[in-house]
Structure 1
Amino acid sequence: MRLTKEVKEDIEAIKKCTQSSDEELQQWVTDVRQGAVDTPDDFRTDDPVALQHLIEGLFLGIQQKKRDLYRVTDRNKQRHKIRRRIREDKKKLFNAISQYNDLPTTTESVDSVEDLLAAESPIWPWDSEPDTSLGMKKKVFDRVMQLERLIEEEAILLEEMKQHWTHLTRTCRALKDQANVLADDLATQSYPSGLSGQAYHGLHSAVLQKCEEIKTDMVAVKETYSQIVVNGNGGSVVEEDDEDPYEYVSTDASTDDEL
């Protein structure tokens, strides 16, 4: 969550440096994304500019598909389709890089496909000035895409944290209810299921022990999750009216059968 804040600050710094509005930055993102979508299927292999555009478009397209793959978590058929298209685009990118590097006019070769995709924002050999309009648009695009990915990851993390806390509170509540019922039965020496008093007391002790283990986990989890949310300024995971780990559980289950 700290990284999300840093990326937001980086985007604000770019806005200030370029004296651009939110709308202008969003248009830059659209321009770069459109360049990836409009990659031509046919082009002149001896045209360095066409190859440059093709390489950039394929690179951006693969990066976008990787983000799409991350978003799709519960549809195997769609994930398979995205992976297949990524493999196809990687082959096209490999061929385009090879063709560009083999041109007589090429003075600086493009990195391999693996090295390009490993870089968050590669600097192309033909970008002599990183701060040109196209270079700045790419930088903004990369930061905005990174921010979107981080926000998605945070949302998934918070949801998983909430589900974990809900599971703990429901388990704790169920164990406390069961322990109280068992304590009442022991107090009245009423033992259903044909169990003896000693066996029933053993069951009650086991439930109490499990309840204590869950309560200990809840204390640690609550402290950890609260720190994550506070540091990230996110929504609350642990609600105020959620289960109190220290709430009373009846342990008075002494009976004559214990003697």
Structure 2
Amino acid sequence: MKTSKSAAIGFIFVTLLIDVMGWGLIIPVMPDLISQLKGIPINEASAYGSWLLSAFAITQFVFAPMVGNLSDRFGRRPILLFSLLGFGIDYIVLALAPTYAWLFAGRIIAGITGASFTTASAYIADVSTPETRAKNFGLIGAAFGLGFVIGPALGGLLAGWGIRAPFYAAAVLCLVNCLYGYFILPESLSKENRRPFSWARANPFGALMFLKKYPAISGLAFCFFLFIWQRRRYKATGTILPCIVLIGTKKW
């Protein structure tokens, strides 16, 4: 059992690492691809790239609670494998995209299946003991950091083979990990601990209303929102201030 849990935690780490690496792999070449498909100078591609990011973010906002509820109903394993398969398909669509509209289709697919982070976190919670919970959740941060270091560097190297090569590489990573997980990843949520699917919890507004019941979680969620918002706006400057302010209020 201990060996099985260790293998599962290792798989979750690799899954998160590959997800983040997949993002990093395409960062160096996405402006060139947009420029090529739209027939515009590369300095104008950022505006179109922002629309792609918005499509992904909005779709994930809408579908993440639904995917989370599906994992509560059917288990973590099928949802994680489905997410990996979806990301693999997304990168193939991006790699083959003949027009800019295809990039939108790929980002929407990724948004729908992009709940692997939350489902992976739930998986870690399922298999962790009180003694190992902090260590296991620390792997999430490690996967993010390592993925954003390796991904762009590898994407830049692969770009030498063509601007679509990093997309194929990201697709292969996701699909190979999906196949690997199919054979080695055990289910973490027992049938007696599963709960029926609920539309009240499966929509984003219902999920936000859930935070009102738990002030501690709502404080952490708001802190994380400010962290992400300021990091994107100020490029990782000034991000610690909201956390200090929230801690100082002692409302957690």
TM-score, with length taken from structure 1: 0.27
Q: Which has the higher contact order (CA 8 A, sep 6+)?
A: 2
Find the structure with the greater CA-based Rg.
1
More helix by share: 2
